[in-house]
Amino acid sequence: MNRSSFRFRRLWAVARKEFIHVLRDWRSLVLSIAIPIFLIALFGYALTMDLTDVPTVVWDQSRTPESRELLSLFSGSPYFSLTRHVDNPRELTAMLDDGSAMVALVIPSDFSADVRSGRQVFIQAVLNGADANNASLALGYVNAIGQIYNQNVFAKQLKSRGGSTAGRPVELEPRAWYNPQLRSSNVIIPGIIALVMVVIAAMLTSVTAAREWETGTMEMLISTPIRVPELVIGKVVPYYVIGLTDVAVSVLMGRFVFDVPLRGSTALIFASATLFLTGALFLGLLLSIVLKNQVMANQMALFSGYLPTLMLSGFVFGIHNMPLPIQAITYIVPARYFIALLRGIYLKGIGLEILWLNALLLGIYAAIMVALAHKKMILKLED
């Protein structure tokens, strides 16, 4: 291969060749746009941490105004749906067994008398713990409603005794910053952008160089004056354009389909996406150069990019909940830093004055992938 100086004209010739191939292979082009839309819709609607309309069965042995007042708090809450009232423990157990109810409430027959007399009364709440996460959330909601009912009873008792309820010494008023409604989609959608970019990069660039080796056209490229940097960068340019298009689609869907707030700079989102996309694209190209097989390169790109992004980036599972050895591994997953950037920009509206370290690490990752792809291409051509 010719060692003449770098020329943009030769780089554009390689990029143009790849553009023509992409346009001719219209199925891949359609998939490169359709897959992000599908993934965002799938994860946005299906992957939710919000728990609402929990099916609840009630065995009310008291059947008094006091028990109905308690149950009205459950029925008026968006978190519970009172699906059925039963009259015996067998029906209650059967609904928990077959999964038609997640929560069972048992109100004792002496509930009203104990409440009126000020005695302590116990209400049984039985939860289906087969799904531990949902069960723990539901238990928290049950306890919260129980506390509200206790406060109401306490206020009524004070009023009946001529006391005042205005002098509560401590009253907790919780407030969630950055995501006041605690909507899981506000957290998930920014992370999906990283997942989409990894999938697209793995699907597209992981087969570019391998295709040249398999079809025998790499030998023809070697005989031309094209230099290795021009070849490597030129092959990535079309897929970089497609990747940024997918980022734009993801941002627009997040804003107008899922109503995810964007409090920070849109330009900063695309700038950080450029760093992450560069690293992901050149990782796919590196695998394509090394393996020289389209199928193997594609599978390895998905394995090395998709799974770590899904499991170890904090996208779905909190890193702080992982065992310490796994937490250590997450530091080498680039998507961890990209997702932290996206969530900071989307939800907090902050910029590089706080997120500069994440951007720097993404830049280092991109530079390493570019250098490795360039070096490996030189070695392969010299073999």
pLDDT in tens, 15-68: 888 888 778 877 777 878 888 888 888 888 877 777 888 999 999 998 998 889
Task: Report the CATH number at residue 87.
Answer: 3.40.1710.10
Average pLDDT over residues 192-221: 76
Q: Does residue 107 share a domain with residue 62?
A: yes
The rounded mean pLDDT for the chain is: 84
CA distance 163 to 159: 5
Task: Classify residue 133: in a domain, yes or no.
Answer: yes
Q: Does residue 277 share a domain with residue 242?
A: yes
Q: Does residue 204 share a domain with residue 85?
A: no
Q: Does residue 325 share a domain with residue 217?
A: yes
Q: Does residue 272 share a domain with residue 211?
A: yes
Q: Does residue 34 share a domain with residue 58?
A: no
- The residue among 98, 104, 174, 93 whose CA lies nearest residue 135 is 104
> Is the entire prediction scored with pTM above 0.85?
no
CB 202 within 8 A of CB 284: yes
Q: For position 2, what pLDDT does the model report?
A: 46
Pick from 73-87, 126-140, 165-179: least confident: 165-179
Between vectors from CA 312 to CA 306 and to CA 318, what angle results, nearest 5°? Answer: 135
Q: Is residue 127 predicted with pLDDT exceeding 50?
A: yes
Residue 357's domain comprises 8-48+183-382
Last residue of a domain, one of 160, 191, 216: 160
Average pLDDT over residues 351-363: 94
Q: Does residue 132 share a domain with residue 151?
A: yes
Q: For position 216, what pLDDT does the model report?
A: 67
Digit-coded pLDDT (tens) for 135-161: 888 898 899 898 888 888 877 777 776
Q: Does residue 95 share a domain with residue 33?
A: no
Ordered DSSP codes for 216-227: T-HHHHHTSS--
Q: Is residue 80 predicted with pLDDT exceeding 50?
A: yes
Q: Is residue 349 predicted with pLDDT exceeding 60?
A: yes
